[in-house]
Structure 1
Amino acid sequence: MSTCERGVVTPRRVPFGISVLGGPTTVIDIGGSRLVCDPTFDPPSDYGYLQKLTGPAADEAAVGAVDIALVSHDVHPDNLDNAGRAFALSAPVVLTTATAAARLGGPAVALDPWTTWSAPAGELRITAVPARHGPADGERNDEGFVNCEVTGFVIEADDGPTVYVSGDNASLQLVREIRECVGPIDVAVLFAGSASVPTKFEGRPLSLTPERAAAAAEVLGAPHVVVAHQDGWRHFATGAADTRAAFHAAGIADRLCPAPLGHWCVPDQGDRLSPPPG
């Protein structure tokens, strides 16, 4: 990523910026709105089958009020822990899957794949896009989903970039479908970390591996990539160093945002709106 402003996240908003706070939790300022995706604000905790090793790089007070919470799924604490759930439900709007909306209630709005939610003035549009939380041949649950229902999001704003947030998607086939349907992606927020647990799908990855994250970036044609969901939890098999190595091996290391957790990653105005390479 060619240019990054290294400022720490505070309640003061920026014209456009993305910051990973730890785990999947990502703050996005775009189109005058502040969004938080998959908030996880608990301290280090043991949830039984998952262990959180570190707390967020910025807490709820540092993030401040948000306009929209994006919840890729609600049944795993590494994507929505106890404090994160309370924070999400304090937002005016929570966009999530149909099954999660039914469980969360309150401000939760169910979005089926390819359904778009628009802000009242229409300046911000968020589309739910398909995701699969495990291998292609993974056994489906009683609701018909691999592991559980998960969604990604495509965020568009007037005079702003197009941002793709993958959620816990492990499928490159779905990434190709999203690229074909949406068109160019300016910034991709990819959940990687090779998440795995021994009791599910023979321990195979439930999210993108570093190599598949690099492949997803190439499929999307995204000139800027922010990687989340690769730190802070014991079941993440790979981390930031592995991601950097995979992107270097693919020859696209310059697309990665190097900003530390809790800091803004903000491409130049002209650079972020340039067409994808190739």
Structure 2
Amino acid sequence: MSTLTFTHVGGPTTLVEVDGWRILTDPTFDAPGRTYAFGWGTSSRKTTGPAVAAADVGDVDAVLLTHDHHADNLDDAGRQLLGGAPTILTTVPGARRLGPPAVGLRPWATTTLTHPDRPTLTVTATPCRHGPVGSRPVAGAVIGFDLSWEGQQHGSLWFSGDTVLYGGVRQVAERRRVGTAVLHLGGVRFPVTGPLRYSMTVDDGRELCRTLKPRTVLPVHYEGWSHFVDRPAALERPELAPDPGRTTWAEPGRPVVVEV
């Protein structure tokens, strides 16, 4: 049985180790306490620091960056870490801002990560909308990532990215066989925009999983920041996967082994 090791560092930041590959997502390693502006009158305070220090992450083969322009997905310490990454996959405008070695992908574009001693990883960018209809010019471009490789038995590994539940995300269930879903939740809201949501809630995640039918669900990005209004629901550790016992609320810093 093929397995991967998943470590939730905190927020959206995860480390995935599989068949010799070490993949880091959305690096956030700043200390807590600071308030960051997100634009258009929105801001959020970081309330929890990373469970793994940037210096302790070690070498990584690639960084999957869902977007570069919000500090809860890429902060100052995370930007420093990018300097040592040989490959960075992100949005097209994000790659322009970051420069080489960042590579920009549009939704449903595919690239590969290769190594002579490891299975080839096929990375497919998936759609995101980081807010309500019409919010993209303000919230900016975001993508998710779907990873597949030879030897997977239950389906691909999918990172949803920061997104609300909408038609583009539902396309993932139609176009990919997802075995492990890493879902960005939190139900983000800001006082200046009232009831509008900018990421999925626990209920959204459960609804998506009814269609997606993943074997394993790993929720992330629901804690550690003041703009997560759905955090109390997340702390109840509800089931999101269709089958009981398939949702793992990984304790930050503690590796979890997942069958893939």
Q: Unaligned regions of 5+ residues in structure 2, if any?
A: 38-42
Sort the Cα spacing of 1:251 and 1:98 in 2 relative to 1 into closer, same or farther, 3 A: closer
Q: How many residues align?
A: 248
Sort the Cα spacing of 1:253 and 1:133 in 2 relative to 1 into closer, same or farther, 3 A: farther
- 2:200 is the alignment partner of 1:208: yes
Once the 2 structures are TM-superposed, how far is the Cα of residue 246 of structure 1 from its aligned partner?
Answer: 7.7
Once the 2 structures are TM-superposed, how far is the Cα of residue 259 of structure 1 from its aligned partner?
Answer: 3.0
- Please give the alpha-carbon distance, in whole angstroms, between the structure 1 residues aligned to 2:217 and 2:114: 29
- Please give the alpha-carbon distance, in whole angstroms, between the structure 2 residues aligned to 1:22 and 1:89: 20
- Give yes or no for contact 2:123–2:146 (8 Å, CA) kept in 1: yes
User: Which residue of the partner structure matches residue 146 of structure 2?
Assistant: 154
Q: 1:33-86, CA deviations, whole angstroms, 9 ceiling, x for partnerless residues?
A: 111110100001222422111110111122111100011011110110010112
- Aligned to 2:256, the other structure's residue is in SS state coil
- Aligned to 1:168, the other structure's residue is in SS state coil
Sort the Cα spacing of 1:129 and 1:158 in 2 relative to 1 into closer, same or farther, 3 A: same
- 2:35 is the alignment partner of 1:46: yes
- Give yes or no for contact 1:175–1:220 (8 Å, CA) kept in 2: no
TM-score (ref. length: structure 1): 0.82
Sort the Cα spacing of 1:238 and 1:79 in 2 relative to 1 into closer, same or farther, 3 A: same
- Of 169, 187, 195, the residue aligned with 1:194 is 187
Once the 2 structures are TM-superposed, how far is the Cα of residue 32 of structure 1 from its aligned partner?
Answer: 1.9
Q: 1:235-276, CA deviations, whole angstroms, 9 ceiling, x for partnerless residues?
A: 11122x513658449875522114311111213xxxx34xxx
- Please give the alpha-carbon distance, in whole angstroms, between the structure 1 residues aligned to 2:98 and 2:237: 37
- Aligned to 2:28, the other structure's residue is in SS state coil
Q: 1:103-135, CA deviations, whole angstroms, 9 ceiling, x for partnerless residues?
A: 011210011111111123561111111111012
User: Which residue of the partner structure matches residue 178 of structure 2?
Assistant: 185
- Give yes or no for contact 1:193–1:238 (8 Å, CA) kept in 2: yes
Sort the Cα spacing of 1:139 and 1:110 in 2 relative to 1 into closer, same or farther, 3 A: closer
Once the 2 structures are TM-superposed, how far is the Cα of residue 190 of structure 1 from its aligned partner?
Answer: 0.2
- Give yes or no for contact 1:27–1:35 (8 Å, CA) kept in 2: yes
Report runs of 4+ in structure 1 exceeding 6 Å deviation: none
User: Which residue of the partner structure matches residue 260 of structure 1?
Assistant: 251
- Give yes or no for contact 2:30–2:49 (8 Å, CA) kept in 1: yes
- Of 73, 77, 80, the residue aligned with 1:83 is 77
- Aligned to 1:186, the other structure's residue is in SS state strand
User: Which residue of the partner structure matches residue 6 of structure 1?
Assistant: none
- Give yes or no for contact 1:15–1:29 (8 Å, CA) kept in 2: no
- 2:116 is the alignment partner of 1:119: no
- Give yes or no for contact 1:172–1:216 (8 Å, CA) kept in 2: no
Q: Work out the percentage of aligned pairs sharing the same amino acid.
A: 36
User: Which residue of the partner structure matches residue 20 of structure 2?
Assistant: 32
Sort the Cα spacing of 1:250 and 1:177 in 2 relative to 1 into closer, same or farther, 3 A: closer
CA RMSD between the two structures:
2.2
Once the 2 structures are TM-superposed, how far is the Cα of residue 21 of structure 1 from its aligned partner?
Answer: 1.1
Q: Unaligned regions of 5+ residues in structure 1, if any?
A: 1-13, 274-278
Moved more, 257-266 or 91-100: 257-266
Q: 1:124-163, CA deviations, whole angstroms, 9 ceiling, x for partnerless residues?
A: 111111111012x23441xxxx621000000112213510
Q: Which has the higher strand share?
A: 2
Once the 2 structures are TM-superposed, how far is the Cα of residue 217 of structure 1 from its aligned partner?
Answer: 1.9
